[in-house]
Amino acid sequence: MLFITGATGFVGSHLLKALQKDAVEARCLVRTEEKAKAVQSLGFDAVIGDITDRESLTGKLKGIELVVHLVGIIQEGSGITFNRVHVEGTENLINEALSAGVKNFFYQSALGADLESPFKYLKTKAEAEELLKISGLNFWIFRPSLIIGPGDGFTENIKELLRLSPVVPVPGSGNAKFQPLSIDDWVRAFMKTLKNSSSSGTIYEFGGPEHLTYNEILQIIMKEMGIKKPLVHIPVGIVKAGIPLTYLFRKLGVKIPPVSAEQLNLLQKNNITDIDSMEKHFGFKPESFETAIKKAI
C-alpha cells in the first residue's frame, strides 16, 4: 500500500486517477474531513493529519510499503514557510516512516534544487533531498520542470493575467527558458518508476520536449485561448514595488494572480535540463507544450 501526501493537490489528484485505474491501494494524508471524503469517494483510504505536525502522523504509516511525498508550496504565507513545509515536514514524515518500518520513499522535488541556491524554494527542496539521502530508506526523487495540465496553478494564473488588461505585463525580458511538462507524462513516468524498484537511490531531472522562453509560453497560451494582446515588458524592480498593491486589490476582490519577489526572480532564471530527458529516463517521448496547454485550458 502507498501512503500519499498532497493527494488532493494538482499532481496528487491526477496521480490518484491513474492509481484507481490500476487498482493500486493507497492511504492519503489530508487535513480536513471534506478532503477525506473526496479521497474516499475514489476508493482510497484517508487519514487526517499534517506533515508539519509530527504527532498527527503517529501510527498513520502502519503497513505502508512506499511513502509518496508530494506536498510542497511555491509561495510562503502566514506561518507557512518553505523551511517548515519542505524541510521540517519532510523530516517528520521520514522519521515516522522509519518508526513504522517503511522501507521506500518517493519525494517530489523540483528542477534546480540546490543547497547553494539563492532561492529559498529551491534551497529547501534540496535540503529535504539531503534528509532523505541520509535516512537509510530506499528512495526515488523526481526533479521535474514546470508541470502543465487541467487545474495547474501556473496556467490558471496566466489565464487570469490575460483577462485583466488590454496588454500582457511581462516582468523583465521574458527570455528565461523553461521546459514545460504534461501532467499526463509526469504520471506515466511515476507509474514506470513505481514498477521499477531496482532504480532505488536515483534522482530524475526531466522536462518536456521543448525549451521555451516565458514570452513564447505566453504567446502559445494566447493562441490556444484565441486572444491577441501585446506583451509589455516591465522592469522587475517596478513589478516588485507594486506587490503590496496586488495584495490590497486581492483583498478587495480583484482577481490578480498572487506573486512574490522570489517568484519574480525565478522567472528571470533558466529552468531547463536535457531536451531528451524523458526518453533517457523513462523510455518515451513526452507531449509538446501546445498539446499539454490545450488540455489545461
Q: Report if residue 83 sits inside a domain.
A: yes
Whether residue 26 is contained in a domain is answered as yes
89 lies in the same domain as 157 = no
pLDDT score recorded for residue 196: 82
Is 196 inside a domain boundary? no
Residues 131 and 141 sit within 8 Å (Cβ to Cβ) = no
The C-alpha cell of 207 is what?
522536462
Within a domain: residue 73? yes
Do the strands 138-144 and 202-206 form a parallel or antiparallel pair, or are they unpaired?
parallel
Instruction: Return the bridge partners of 93, or none.
Output: none
Q: Note the pLDDT of residue 245.
A: 59
Q: Which residues contact 180 (CB under 8 A, 6 or more apart)?
A: 145, 146, 147, 148, 207, 208, 210, 212, 217, 289, 292, 293
Average pLDDT of each block of 10 consecutive residues along the chain (297 residues)? Answer: 97 98 97 96 97 97 98 90 98 98 98 97 98 97 97 92 87 96 98 85 96 97 95 90 62 62 92 97 97 95
DSSP symbol at 286: P
DSSP codes of every residue in 202-268 = EEEEE--S--EEHHHHHHHHHHHHT----EEEE-HHHHHHTHHHHHHHHHTT--PPP--HHHHHHTT
Q: Give the pLDDT of residue 255.
A: 56
Cβ proximity of 278 and 189 under 8 Å = yes
199, part of any domain: no
Does one domain contain both 120 and 238? no
Domain count, the chain: 2
- Our separate counts of H helices and E strands in the chain read 13, 13
Domain presence at residue 59: yes
Containing 2, the helix (H) or strand (E) segment is: strand 2-5
Q: Which domain holds residue 69?
A: 2-144
d(C-alpha 270, C-alpha 284), whole Å: 24
* Residue where a domain stops, chosen among 88, 123, 144: 144
pTM tops 0.85: yes
Tell me: do 118 and 10 sit in the same domain: yes
pLDDT at site 252:
45
pLDDT at 257: 67
223 and 92 housed in the same domain:
no
The C-alpha atoms of residue 146 and residue 144 are separated, in whole angstroms, by 7
Residue 147 bridge partners (DSSP): 181
